Amino acid sequence: MRKFAVLFLYLLTGPYIVSASDEFFDAQVAPILVKHCIECHNANDFKGKLNLQSVAGFLKGGELSPAFNKDIPLESFLLERVLSDEMPPEHPLSTAEKETLTTWIKGGANWGTTPINIFQYSSPDRAGYDWWSLNPLQHPQPPAATAGRVSNAIDLFVLNQVHQANLTQAPRAERALLIRRAFIDLTGIPPSSEQVSTFLNNDAPDSYEQLIDQLLANPHYGERWARHWLDVIRFGESQGFERDKLRPHSWRFRDWVIDAFNQDLSYNEFARLQLAGDLIAGDTTSGRIATGFLGAGTWDEVGFSQRSPVFKRVVRQDQLEDLTAAISQSFLGLTVNCARCHDHKFDPITQKEYYQFTAAMASVYHGQMFFTDQISDSERAENNRQKEVYMHRHRIAQDRIAKVKDEYRTRLAAEGKPTDDDALNAALPDIVTKHWEFEAKQLLDLANRWGDFSVYAIGPKKPDETFVLIRGNPEQRGEAVKAGGIASVAAGSADFQLENNAPDHIRRARFADWITVNNPLFARTIVNRIWHYHFGTGIVDTPNDFGFNGGQPSHPELLDWLASELVTNNYSLKHIQRLILTSETYRQSSRGRPAAENIDADNRLLWRYPPKRMSAETLRDSVLMLSGQLNTEIHGPGYYDFTTFVANSQFYDVFDPIGETFNRRTIYRTVIRSGRSRFLDVFDCPDPSAKAPRRATTTTPLQSLSLMNYSFSIRAAEHYATKLKLRYPDNTTAQLKHLFKEAFCREITVDELTLATEVYHDAGLVGVCRAVINTNEFIYIR
C-alpha cells in the first residue's frame, strides 16, 4: 500500500530525472536530506537561497555558491560544508551519512525523485511516513517467562522490561484493596461492606476472575466508562458561546454511550455509528442518537446568525476545525486540526488533507433530531412508562408540599397570623420553599423530557463545496477538495474515489469506514485509552496525540499486542479490560519502594500499581453512596443543579439542590458550559468545552475547603451518621467499626477506635464521618 502511495506521488509530482542511480538516491540520499537539510532548505523556506528539495534547486545552488561542482565533484560546496561540520548547524552528520553523501556526489550526484517528499522520512524535527504509529499493526510474540507471577501475555511484556531495568514485580495487593480498586475502576463506586465480605470469604481459586466478570456485567460499568468517553469528546449539554442555550435532549446520546459500553458494542461499530449513524442505521432510533457525538461540541448561535456573510464563513470554519480536532484526536490520536492554515508542522498531514476531513463533514450542522417515526413500539412504551413514573413522583412531591403548607397555614391561623401566600412562604423553612419546590418542578421537567422523542445531534444540510483555504482564510480559496483520508496512515486508501459533489451519505459513510477499517491508529488509540484509565498513564502518555509531539510508547510491543487482540476479538473492549484486570501487573500492591523509585520514579515500567486519586465524579458518587444517599437509577434525562432563565442569552445559577432526584450518579448531571459546579471543578473536572483525554490531578487548599465545608459534604456527613446510628442504635463502637470497614475496606485498629471514640464525644458521629470522607485513605485508590 505504502509503496503504491509513493509511486502514485511519483507520477503526480514529476518532472523528474531517472538515472541509473536514482534508487540509490531515493533509498539512501533522500532520507539524509529530509532528516538533516530540507527543514531549512526547501521550496517554501530556502535559507541561504538554497532549495535542496528539488533537483532544480540543487543544481541552481544557494546565494554563496553552487552546491554542486560537476567538474570536480569532490570540491562541491555542499560536501565541503557538510564534511567540515558547518552544516547542519550544531548537529553534524554521522560518518556513515557523510560517506553516503560523498559517494553520491562523487558519482555525479544523480538525483532520483524530485521534488523530494518532505513527509517521506521522519527527521529530528518532524514525523514522516515511517513514524511508528502510522504503520501497520505488528503482531509481536510475548517474550518468554522469566521470574515473577504471570497471568497472561500482558505480564510477560511488562515483566520483561521490569527485569531489564533491574526492577522487580511488587507482591500482590491485599484482597480488600484489590476489590476496592477493581470496583472503582470498573463501576466508579466502591464496594459495599457486604460485597467486600462476600469476596473475602470466597475461597474459590478463580474468585478474583469471577469478581471481574461480575463487574464487567454490572450496569454501573457503563456509567463509569461513558464518563471517560464524554471527557474525550468534550461533551456538553449547552451551546456555549454567548447564548449558551440549554440542550435538553442531549441525554439520549449520553445514555446511548452508557448502553454501548454495557453491551460491549464492538468499538468499530461504536465509532461508525457516532460518525454516521443517521446514514448507516438511519431507520433505528439508536443510529440517529449516536450522532450526538457530532453535536457534542459548542455552537456559536450568534455567530451563525450575524449579518455579515464573511464572518459567518469564519464561524463555520472555526466550527469545522473544532469538529476535525474532535474526530481525529478521539479516534486516531492525530491532530489533523493543526493543518488548517498550512501543512502540519510536525506530522505528515497536508493542508489539503485537513480540508478532505472537513469535506467529509461538510454536511454536519447541529440540530435537534426527532425520531418519532423511527421509534419502535417497545421503545415508545418504555419512554411513556418512564414519563408516568416521573409524573407520579411529581404528584407525590407536590402532595408533600401541600401537606406541609396546610399544616403551616393551620398553625398560623391558630396563632392569629395572616395566612396569605406571602406570609405562608415566609413562615415555611428553606427546605420546602427552595428545595422541595425545585424538586417537584424538576420531576415534571424530567417526565416531559422522557416523553419527547428527540435528541440533540446532527442536523445535516446539503454539503457546501470544499476548497483548500489559503492560510485558513475562507475568502482565499485554493483548489477544490473531495472528502478523503490521510495518506500517511497505513489504512485504506485516503482517496475515496468520490466526485466533488458526492452526496453526504456516501462521503460520510466512506469516511467512517476509512477511520474504522484496518486503521492501525484506530485500534492503538483505544487500547491505549483503556490502559490509561486503569493505570493512570497510557502506554503512550498523550492519548490524543500519537504524532511527533506525542509521547513514545513505554511498551510498544504490548501496545500492538493489545491492539491486535482487540481487532481479532471483534473490537470487544471488555475483552481487553478482562485481560488487563486479571493480569498480575494490575494486581500488584501499590506500596512505594525507594529503591525502585530511584530507577523509575514515574513507574512507567509498572513495578507497582500506581495509586490514583478519585476523580471528581467518583468522589461525589462515593460520598453519596457511603452516606446512604445514592440514587442508583440508571438512564434518563439529566438532573439540573441550577435554576435557569433566558434573557437573550441563557443564564444558569448553579446551587446545591437537596433531594433524591439530584443524588444520582454524577454522569446524570446536566453539563452546562457556563454553569460549572465548583465542587467538581476543584477536583479537576475538566472544562466541558476542552477535549480532556487525561485529567490533571491537582492538590489545592480549595479542595480541602470544599470537602470540609461545602453544604454537600456536611449533608453527607450528617446522613452517614444517621445511617450508622439506625443500623447500630446506641452502639458507638459498632458504628465506628462499620464506618471504617465501609470507607476503607478494613478493620478499625485499637488506637483508631480510641481516638475516634474521643472525637465522637467532642464532635459527634457527624464529626467522625466528616473526617473520614476527607482522608487520603478514602480518596485514594491504591
Write out the binding residues for other proteins, residues 544-603 only, by CB under 8 A: 544-545, 547, 549-551, 590-594, 597-598, 601-602
Interaction between residue 18 and other proteins (CB under 8 A): no
CB 311 → other proteins: shortest distance, Å? 6
Which of 57, 520 has the CB closer to other proteins?
Answer: 520
Dist CA 596 CA 602 (whole Å): 10
Which of 72, 310 has the CB closer to other proteins?
Answer: 310
**By CB under 8 A, which span of 57-65, 363-371, 622-630, 686-694 interacts with other proteins?**
686-694
Which of 186, 682 has the CB closer to other proteins?
Answer: 682
CB 587 → other proteins: shortest distance, Å? 17
Dist CA 399 CA 422 (whole Å): 20
CB 200 → other proteins: shortest distance, Å? 18
User: Among positive and negative, which fits the CA dihedral 738, 744, 745, 747?
Assistant: negative
CA dist list (Å): 178 to 142, 380, 461, 707, 744: 26, 42, 51, 26, 12
**By CB under 8 A, which span of 128-136, 281-289, 308-316, 565-573 interacts with other proteins?**
308-316
Interaction between residue 782 and other proteins (CB under 8 A): yes
Dist CA 137 CA 523 (whole Å): 9
Interaction between residue 694 and other proteins (CB under 8 A): yes
Interaction between residue 144 and other proteins (CB under 8 A): no
Dist CA 663 CA 28 (whole Å): 65
Show contacts with other proteins in window 610-649 (CB under 8 A): 611, 613, 647-649
Show contacts with other proteins in window 329-388 (CB under 8 A): 329, 334-335, 338, 346-347
CB 176 → other proteins: shortest distance, Å? 12
Which of 196, 772 has the CB closer to other proteins?
Answer: 772
CB 607 → other proteins: shortest distance, Å? 13
Interaction between residue 193 and other proteins (CB under 8 A): no
CB 701 → other proteins: shortest distance, Å? 4
DSSP per residue over 443-490, as a string? HHHHHHHHT--EEEEE---PPPPEEEEGGG-TTSEEEEE--B--TTSS
Dist CA 324 CA 435 (whole Å): 42
**CB burial class (10 A; 0-12, 13-18, 19+) of residue 98?**
middle
Dist CA 359 CA 463 (whole Å): 8
CB 467 → other proteins: shortest distance, Å? 20
With CB under 8 A as the contact rule, the residue among 221, 652, 662, 720 that binds other proteins is 652
Dist CA 57 CA 534 (whole Å): 53
Task: Tell me which residue of 377, 431, 437 sits closest to 402, measured CA to CA.
Answer: 437
Interaction between residue 659 and other proteins (CB under 8 A): no
C-alpha cell at 206: 478463580
DSSP per residue over 548-585, as a string? TTSPPPSSHHHHHHHHHHHHHTTT-HHHHHHHHHHSTT
Which of 637, 693 has the CB closer to other proteins?
Answer: 693
Show contacts with other proteins in window 243-282 (CB under 8 A): 244
Give me the 404-443 binding string for other proteins, x by CB under 8 A, dash otherwise. Answer: ----------------------------------------
What contacts 18, CB < 8 A, 6 or more positions away? 112
Which of 382, 752 has the CB closer to other proteins?
Answer: 752
CB 43 → other proteins: shortest distance, Å? 21
Which of 232, 279 has the CB closer to other proteins?
Answer: 232
Which of 436, 652 has the CB closer to other proteins?
Answer: 652
With CB under 8 A as the contact rule, the residue among 387, 695, 738, 741 that binds other proteins is 695
CB 431 within 8 A of CB 364: no
Which of 115, 333 has the CB closer to other proteins?
Answer: 333
Strand ranges in 649-694 using DSSP code E only, listed in sequence order: 649-654
Q: Which residues of 131-156 are buried (b: 16+ CB within 10 A; e: fewer)?
A: bbbbbebeeeebeeeeebebbbbbbb
Dist CA 83 CA 632 (whole Å): 72
Number of amino acids touching other proteins (CB under 8 A): 106
Dist CA 41 CA 81 (whole Å): 14
Interaction between residue 722 and other proteins (CB under 8 A): no
**By CB under 8 A, which span of 137-145, 160-168, 402-410, 773-781 interacts with other proteins?**
773-781
**By CB under 8 A, which span of 28-36, 142-150, 238-246, 403-411 interacts with other proteins?**
238-246
Q: What letter would DSSP give residue 48? A: G
Interaction between residue 691 and other proteins (CB under 8 A): yes
Interaction between residue 149 and other proteins (CB under 8 A): no
CB 127 → other proteins: shortest distance, Å? 11
C-alpha cell at 299: 455552537
C-alpha cell at 692: 480532556
Q: Indicate the SS3 state at residue 250.
A: coil
Show contacts with other proteins in window 458-497 (CB under 8 A): none
Dist CA 39 CA 45 (whole Å): 8
CB 179 → other proteins: shortest distance, Å? 17
CB 234 → other proteins: shortest distance, Å? 7
Show contacts with other proteins in window 726-765 (CB under 8 A): 749, 752, 755-756, 758-759, 762-764
